[in-house]
Copies of this chain bind each other. A is one copy, B any other.
């Protein structure tokens, strides 16, 4: 056996290198699938679906096969017995997790879930269009059963929902997630109730009028440039649902334009910027390996929400942006009026994606409670509409009159994505904690935001979040960045202060 200078077997390094190369291959296939997905939503002509579906399904099964191949298992075992440095250890942890999850679930079950989801999607679309939950119910029931089975393959001894949650948030405990969601509920239910009866004079009409699409696109480009988007590594296109796609070299954002709602599109642009700015800050030297990937969904959402809420919905941002509106549109709203309109609480809104920064989280809490009860078996599918409506009445003081505006509004369950919703709220909460720490370190961020200077904030996020890739698990990442465990405290402070001021609320909230 050959040895290197240190006397260690040369195959040590070889096995690690082979393992990394294998994961780089998998990443290459998944990256290709990512480009195909972007193209499908942004560029592909309608007729292209049959070919695209086939291409994506081939890439998905190839990547699964490469990941679950016997050779992957052998190499993981071999490398595990070696003396690894800290980065290699983290690399191996991420590889092992990916492998084990993929390996635990039989391919047939994955395919069954995928096929059922395709059927469920069609049924959901029709059920929503016809406001008829019964059409969707049998598919939802099957998906709940299949997902329970899926969780059982991964770990038969643990709570199935906990296992499913880890698909989206593998290294944050469900217990902490639950605590945080419970805090949100305890804080926001009374706060929104008080806002409902507040007689504060909040401007709500700064964005009334007509806002041509071309000028909105131009504004979005201007704002992206101002925030620091690297156009050499990105692009902006319109799509029905805004999203971000790509890697450290090429990360693209999409947004939407509604001529009667310039705020929605602009906030979507700022939100997607946050996602893209994260990916564009990942460590290049780890590109293509698990360590070079972003941390999971809550952290990703923390980046989009930080830019959307803490930057994009701040008074300083509206001082910066109001002149940009005046240049392009027929509007004379002041920065303060724009700020108030951008932060008004829609206390009668039933639709999650149209919700404001406060009520949003109750939409999430309701979904979380319902899907948790569905997976545990405490709640039957047939009872979902009634429970949904009761919870809306209890938490938000409004009751949906149709299921289309109630439990049929979101696409996620038709994909079988149970455990996904919480990451939206967790991301907002994490954004508050990170922003607070950045402000402690930098001081007076809003002073520079007002001037369109984002450099200090960019650098802080690069150094404290992006450059770490997947080196730290979620809570460790938060602790490294902020000095504290992941907590809802800063979010509670943030909304209490902000909305206390806007709506003249009692201090005690």
Contacts and interface: CB of A to CB of B under 8 A. Distances in A.
Interface of A: 24-25, 28-29, 31-33, 35-36, 39, 43-52, 54-59, 62, 230-235, 246-250, 252, 287-288
A239 to B, nearest CB: 13
B287 A230 contact: no
B54 A233 contact: no
Contact of A232 (B31, B46, B51, B56): B46
Nearest to A237: B43
6 contacts: A31-B55, A36-B36, A43-B43, A47-B233, A49-B249, A50-B287
Contacts of A56: 32
A67 B235 CA distance: 36
A45 B288 contact: no
B58 A28 contact: yes
A54 B28 contact: yes
Contacts of A54: 24, 28, 31, 287-288
Given A25-B58, A35-B39, A51 B235 contact: no
Contacts of A51: 31, 246-250, 287-288
B288 A59 contact: no
A36 B47 contact: no
Nearest to A34: B55
A117 B28 CA distance: 22
Among A29, A35, A43, A230, residue most surrounded by chain B Cβ atoms (within 10 Å): A35
Contacts of A24: 54, 58
A48 B287 CA distance: 12
Contact of A55 (B28, B48, B57): B28
B58 A29 contact: yes
A46 B232 CA distance: 6
Given A45-B232, A232-B46, A234-B45, A59 B28 contact: yes
Given A35-B39, A54-B31, A54-B288, A249 B59 contact: no
Contacts of A232: 45-47
Contacts of A36: 32, 35-36
Nearest to A29: B58
B48 A233 contact: yes
Contacts of A25: 58, 62
Contacts of A246: 48, 51
A262 B433 CA distance: 58
A247 B55 CA distance: 12
Contacts of A28: 54-55, 57-59
Nearest to A40: B35
Contacts of A233: 45, 47-48
A32 B53 CA distance: 11
A39 B39 CA distance: 8
A472 to B, nearest CB: 24
